[in-house]
Structure 1
Amino acid sequence: MGKGIVKKLTGEYGLFFLVTLLLFSLWEWVIIQGWIASFILPSPSAIWISFMENHQLLLQVHLPATLIEVLIGFGISLFGGLLIGVGMHFSRSLEKVLYPFLVISQTIPLIAISPIFIMWFGYTIWSKVAVTILITFFPIVVSTYDGLKAGGNEYRELLLTMGASRWTIFKMVQVPMALPSLFSGLKMAVVYSVVGATIGEWLGASEGLGYFSRRMSGNLQADAVFAAIFLLSLLGIILFICISLIEKQLLKNNTR
């Protein structure tokens, strides 16, 4: 089974892996030639060496701290976003009240609001969770609301003529047809959650990949900074893939 997955990935994304390999090779060659100073842009080999030197600290201390912040923030956003998205779908008044606030929340610069969260919650995990919620809440609510609003008008009218209740229509038609929109929002939100947690750690934390990269940046250790960045990128990719796999399974079951 594992070989089958690897074969499928190399078949579908073979060109991507090839281009990535070429880019990393070019990157390494440029640094070896001395065209860019290594303290500005370290080579991939130097980043790998730095990762191996710090892997226990990164994988056992800082990565779990960032992952916990991401999962808590994303989980709260998922629960609240679904609740508010469904509520706005059923209540026009609620939609008129809450939608402008949702838009306003996205116009506030995170760099400006993060110190306020630190004032409220201190340097605890909740200041980072609050930043994560702020950045992930909006796409979940909007994708849920838009998906429910746009899905299945023809089926809805048909079921209404057959005497179906609004709850029956919601459960049998609108929810299944809203799933693609919802999962589009979830895939964006889960990637943004990594960004939110990292920003929160940059502004005030004692652990986490964002904190580690800020500390290494202050020490002018660019290779360690890039090691943390690549680990953050890998975390976002893995979470994105997890949501995509859940989406594929649910949509497959939904079409049966």
Structure 2
Amino acid sequence: MALTRITPAALAFALLLTAWELYARYGGIAPTMLPAPSRVLEQAWQNREALAENTIPTIRATSAGFACSLIAAFVLSALVDFLPRLRRALFPLLIASQTLPLVAIAPLAVLWFGFGLLPKILLVALVTFFPMMVALVEGYAATEKEIAQMLAAMGAGRWRIFRLARLPSALPYFFAGLRISITYAVVGAIFAEYAGAAKGLGIYMLSAKNNFRPDLVLAAVAVSSVLTIALFGLAVLLQRLVMPWEKAGRDRKAERSAEARQ
């Protein structure tokens, strides 16, 4: 089943790379303009130590920033759920924060907080926490009223209802927001490095661009893409570990559909 889902994407990716390779080799375009995928792979291998050295700071900034984003999203969403008036006060500000262009904010963050890890953490958190928070708030609101009323009739307080009913109801929404947010985490870290850093994939791309090495730029882009896909896969795996009943329900639905077709 998993192989069936992966095959179309793998074929599309292979066709894209093949077309790119043929065009770069026989289209009369200079390698300094558009290097072939084979050249990008070759240069990535030859410069693997430099790529690895610059990937580690990006991973560090991404993981720290996303962890802070996750904590902030949960705390703020819980406060908003317990204090509805706070939602009306905070949401306009949070929505406005998502309209700020990262290209303009990144240099200011470096100017205010220096060239260390802190501005990168803040920028990653800025671009990733909002989808998770909105998803959690919507998930709390989707709790069935009958469950909350039954728990209240049994003497459960507000916190106990939140923990036993509202939080579990929000899990599917949360993981949907998590998968969206996690795809922006590496991009946020790289933008922060572009604005100012000693090492990182952003600095490596900037240096390669200034040296007219598009092959190395694309090699760093490929590494960042692999990181993003790996983080997305971890989010999916975490959802399956936390919510094993969801996959079982999908499998049963697929079996019933297959039986109906037969």
TM-score with structure 1 setting the length = 0.91
Paired residue type of 2:147: Y
CA distance in 1 between partners of 2:39 and 2:223 (Å): 15
The Cα offsets for residues 135-193 of structure 1, whole Å up to 9 and x where unpaired, read as 11211211111111222233223333444322222122111110011111111122111
**Retained in 2: the 8 A contact 1:176–1:254?**
no
Paired residue type of 2:41: W
Unaligned runs of 5+ residues in structure 2 are: 249-262
Q: Please give the residue correspondences for 1:178-197 in structure 2 after superposition, counting only pairs within 5 Å.
A: 178-197=170-189
Greater CA deviation, 33-42 or 87-96?
Answer: 33-42
Work out whether 1:89 is the aligned partner of 2:77.
no
**Retained in 2: the 8 A contact 1:217–1:225?**
yes
Partner in structure 2 of residue 131 of structure 1: 123
Paired residue type of 2:16: L
Identity %: 33
1:19 partner SS: helix
Partner in structure 2 of residue 52 of structure 1: 45
Q: Taking structure 1 as reference, are residues 255 and 86 closer, same or farther at Cα in structure 2, changes over 3 Å only?
A: farther
**Retained in 2: the 8 A contact 1:73–1:132?**
yes
1:123 partner SS: coil
Paired residue type of 1:99: F
Q: How many residues align?
A: 248
Partner in structure 1 of residue 54 of structure 2: 62
Partner in structure 2 of residue 232 of structure 1: 224
Paired residue type of 1:42: P
CA distance in 2 between partners of 1:145 and 1:33 (Å): 53
1:107 partner SS: coil
Partner in structure 1 of residue 158 of structure 2: 166
Paired residue type of 1:103: I
Work out whether 1:99 is the aligned partner of 2:91.
yes
Work out whether 1:248 is the aligned partner of 2:240.
yes
Alignment root-mean-square deviation, CA: 1.8
Paired residue type of 1:191: T
CA distance in 2 between partners of 1:194 and 1:52 (Å): 21
